[in-house]
Amino acid sequence: MPSPSDPRSLRTELETLTTEAFRPELAGIDRLPTLDIARLMNGEDSGVPAAVAERLPQIAAAVDAVAERMARGGRLVYAGAGTAGRLGVLDASECPPTFNTDPAQVVGLIAGGPEAMVTSVEGAEDSKELARADLDALKLVPDDTVVGVSASGRTPYAVGAVEHARALGALTVGLACNRDSALATAAEHGIEVVVGPELLTGSTRLKAGTAQKLVLNMLSTITMIRLGKTYGNLMVDVRASNDKLRARSRRIVALATGATDEEIETALTEAGGEVKNAILTIVAGVDGPTATRLLEESGGHLRAALAVAGG
């Protein structure tokens, strides 16, 4: 692992970052009533969606590029350290139950490995070499996408991940919360959501973390919409792995078809619990094997399968 950066030069660098700026007007925040602090924090958070909105064209362009590659079998890989890394792992972990993706299809890498989800791993975020090793373990191919996530936009692990992925021919996206960041510069698609100084100086799990979560939500959700993982705004690829999700599956089939409970139970049973297949059997009047075949031939897109079946 490389030796630490010169503390003085790193301090100077941090002082130039918007996310690290000190706000003297908040120096007495600890003396305020709790309700006033809550109002201040809520007011700070309210500006985050507007900052994200300024970057919607860049987000949309990144989504289209990611979806194009994932449609060919590529993977979506998030790479970050600390809060940024945890948010990537969170977004990746929510894709299988929400969109029935294979766990290997959307991957979250955090500097320091799983242990870093709950504790700090000393020096991990400062290592570009560690990022390269983590990506090499995945055996990247050109159809994969690596999204480096870093509030500062300078974290070596995130920057190193994007640089290495790009050298291997993979698509790269850099998500940061400062302008002119090294991360966005290194990536083909740079997304810089500038939310301004934090309520607590340097605590980028606050506004910066919220902005990153919003953008990651968009990247994964809209990509999955483009891949046919939804029918309208219904999660038709939901994986019914618990009672709540099984109930949700039945409700989604009902909303899509208007069928009776008995029809829905019969269709889901014939479809092995797969919501898309059940909808297709009800709307198009086909049996389970035919529904499976039509969906396979349509690349998993329910609308396309319904059009072929005349539903």
What's the pLDDT score for residue 13?
64
What's the pLDDT score for residue 121?
80
Q: State pTM to two decimals.
A: 0.89
Average pLDDT, the chain: 92
- Specify the length of the chain in residues: 311
Q: What are the residues whose beta carbons fall under 8 Å from the beta carbon of 50, sequence distance 6 or more?
A: none
Separation between Cα atoms, residue 78 and residue 106, nearest integer Å: 8
Taken in order 97, 103, 105, 106, is the CA torsion positive or negative?
positive
What's the pLDDT score for residue 83?
93
Asked if residue 202 and residue 114 are part of one domain, the reply reads yes
Asked if residue 293 and residue 147 are part of one domain, the reply reads no
Q: Is residue 238 part of a domain?
A: no
Asked if residue 140 and residue 25 are part of one domain, the reply reads yes
Separation between Cα atoms, residue 75 and residue 142, nearest integer Å: 10
Radius of gyration of the chain (CA): 22
Domain count, the chain: 2
Separation between Cα atoms, residue 46 and residue 116, nearest integer Å: 29
What's the pLDDT score for residue 2?
39
Asked if residue 90 and residue 189 are part of one domain, the reply reads yes
Separation between Cα atoms, residue 98 and residue 192, nearest integer Å: 27
Locus of tokens 């989604």:
252
pLDDT in tens, 125-143: 889 999 999 999 999 999 9
Asked if residue 266 and residue 186 are part of one domain, the reply reads no
Asked if residue 139 and residue 283 are part of one domain, the reply reads no
CATH of the domain at 81: 3.40.50.10490
Separation between Cα atoms, residue 106 and residue 76, nearest integer Å: 5
pLDDT in tens, 209-255: 999 999 999 999 999 999 999 999 999 998 777 888 889 999 999 99
What's the pLDDT score for residue 1?
37
191 φ/ψ angles, rounded to the nearest 5 degrees: -125, 105
Q: Is residue 279 part of a domain?
A: yes
pLDDT in tens, 47-56: 999 999 999 9
Q: Is residue 126 part of a domain?
A: yes
Asked if residue 137 and residue 107 are part of one domain, the reply reads yes
Q: Which residue among 226, 252, 286 closes a domain?
A: 226
| Positions of the chain with pLDDT lower than 50, given as ranges | 1-4
Helices (H), 46-188: 48-53, 56-70, 82-99, 128-138, 156-167, 182-186
Provide the terminal-to-terminal Cα distance of the chain, rounded to the nearest Å.
59
Separation between Cα atoms, residue 181 and residue 191, nearest integer Å: 10
Q: Is residue 138 part of a domain?
A: yes
Separation between Cα atoms, residue 77 and residue 75, nearest integer Å: 6
Q: How far is CA 112 from the centre of its chain?
A: 19
Asked if residue 280 and residue 144 are part of one domain, the reply reads no
Asked if residue 247 and residue 218 are part of one domain, the reply reads no
Separation between Cα atoms, residue 211 and residue 139, nearest integer Å: 30
Separation between Cα atoms, residue 77 and residue 201, nearest integer Å: 30
What's the pLDDT score for residue 202?
81
Q: Which residue among 195, 226, 257 closes a domain?
A: 226
Locus of tokens 């919360």:
177
CATH of the domain at 298: 1.10.8.1080
The amino acid occupying position 269 is T
Asked if residue 203 and residue 145 are part of one domain, the reply reads yes
Asked if residue 144 and residue 74 are part of one domain, the reply reads yes
Q: Is residue 2 part of a domain?
A: no
Q: Is residue 136 part of a domain?
A: yes
> Considering only CA atoms, which of 6, 14, 27, 74 is closest in space to residue 200?
27
Separation between Cα atoms, residue 178 and residue 17, nearest integer Å: 7
Separation between Cα atoms, residue 87 and residue 177, nearest integer Å: 14
Q: Which residue among 199, 226, 253 closes a domain?
A: 226
Asked if residue 171 and residue 145 are part of one domain, the reply reads yes
Separation between Cα atoms, residue 185 and residue 182, nearest integer Å: 5
228-252 in b/e burial notation, b at 16+ Cβ within 10 A?
A: bbbbeebbbbbbbeeeebeebbbeb
Show which residues are catalytic: 94, 125
What's the pLDDT score for residue 4?
47
- Domain residue limits at 255: 243-309
